[in-house]
Amino acid sequence: MVEILHRSVALEMDLRLEAAAYSEMAENVDAETDFRLPAVNWELTGRDVLVSEWVDGTRMGDRAAIVAAGHDPERIAASVVQSFLRHALRDGFFHADMHEGNLFVDPEGRLVAVDLGIMGRIGPKEQRFLAEILYGFIRRDYQRIAEVHIEAGYVPAIHSAEDFAQALRAIGEPIHGHRASEISMAKLLGLLFEVTEIFDMQTRPELVLLQKTMVVVEGVARRLDPDFDMWTTAEPVVRDWIDRNLGIAGRIEQAGDVIGAMAKLAGRLPEMALRAERLGKEFDRLSEAGLRLDRESVEDIGREVARRGRSGRIAVWVIAIVAAATALTALGFSVLH
C-alpha cells in the first residue's frame, strides 16, 4: 500500500502527467451528460504548472448553495457514485481523489472534477471482480461472491466457498433493509477485514485506490443525501456492465477477441514451424553425436579426477553433466526464442 501511494505522489509532482490524465479521461467521458473535466491548456502547462479552463460552478461541499442554485442534491449524490463506478468498470481508469474539494456542480447540473493528480487503474480481471462482488451483494448472492474471490485467486482454494459465503452473509445481511444513515461503513469494513483475514485474503495492491475511492465517494454522497443507499444507486451501473460483458453481447465480443487472437497466432505459424524444425534437427544431431566436451574441458576434468578421491570424482562428473545439460537447455531456448 505504501509503495502504491509513493508512486502516486511521485506522479502527482509532475503536472505534465496530470495534464495527460485530464486528456485521457476527457476522451473517456466525452459522451457523458452528467460528468465532465475542464480542458487543459497545453501551451501553458509544464512540469511545475498546469493551466486549465476556469470552472464556473458550486462547490460540492456546500449543500445549501447547491440547493439554492436549483440542483437536486439527491440526484447529484447518485451522479457522484455512478460516475465513479462507470469509469472504474467501463474504462478501468478513474479519479482516485474524489473528495468534495475536487468536485463542483456547474450551472447545467453536471459534475466537474479537478485535481487529477491521483488516478487509479484496474485491469479486466479487477473490473470483473468489482462488478461481480457488487452485483452479488445487491442480489444477496453470497455463494457467487465467495466463488469470485476464489476464482480470482484472492482467497486460497484450500478454503471452502460455502464457508466463505456463510461469513460474507454475516456481513451483507445486516445492511439490507436498513437506511443508509443506520449503516456504519467503518463497522462494515471492519467486519470485512476480519473475515478476509480468517480466510487468508491479503490486501490487494491493485484494489487499494479503488477501495479508498469507493469509501470517499459514498461519504460525499451521504453528506448530500443522508438517506443515500449505495447498493440501490450502484445497481443500474453494475447491471449494465454485467449485461454488456457477461451477457450475449459480451459473449459475442469475447468470441471476436478469440478469433482475433487466433488470427495473430496463424500469422506467426510459419515462423514457429521454422523454429520447431530447427530445434528438431538440433536434437537429432545431439542424439546421434551425443554431448561432446571440448579438449580443454576433458583435460581439466582428468587432472581433477587424478587429484581427488572416489567421492570427489563422482561430484566432478556430476558437475560436468549438469554443465552439459545446461548448455543443451540454453541451446534449445535460443532456438525457440
The catalytic residue positions are: 97
Rg (CA), the chain: 29
Rounded distance between C-alpha atoms, residue 105 and residue 77, angstroms: 11
Rounded distance between C-alpha atoms, residue 196 and residue 93, angstroms: 26
Question: What's the start-to-end Cα distance of the chain, in Å?
Answer: 36
Going from the C-alpha of 132 to that of each of 66, 89, 140, 241, 257, the distances in angstroms are 34, 11, 11, 9, 21
Contact between 166 and 134 (Cβ < 8 Å): no
Query: Strand 93-95 and strand 103-105: pairing?
Result: unpaired
Rounded distance between C-alpha atoms, residue 92 and residue 124, angstroms: 8
Rounded distance between C-alpha atoms, residue 276 and residue 177, angstroms: 63
Contact between 260 and 253 (Cβ < 8 Å): no
Rounded distance between C-alpha atoms, residue 90 and residue 149, angstroms: 21
Cell of 39: 480542458
Where do the H-state alpha helices sit in 13-109? 15-28, 63-68, 73-86
Which phi and psi (to 5°) does residue 115 adopt? 60, 70
Residue 111: which H helix or E strand, with range? strand 111-113
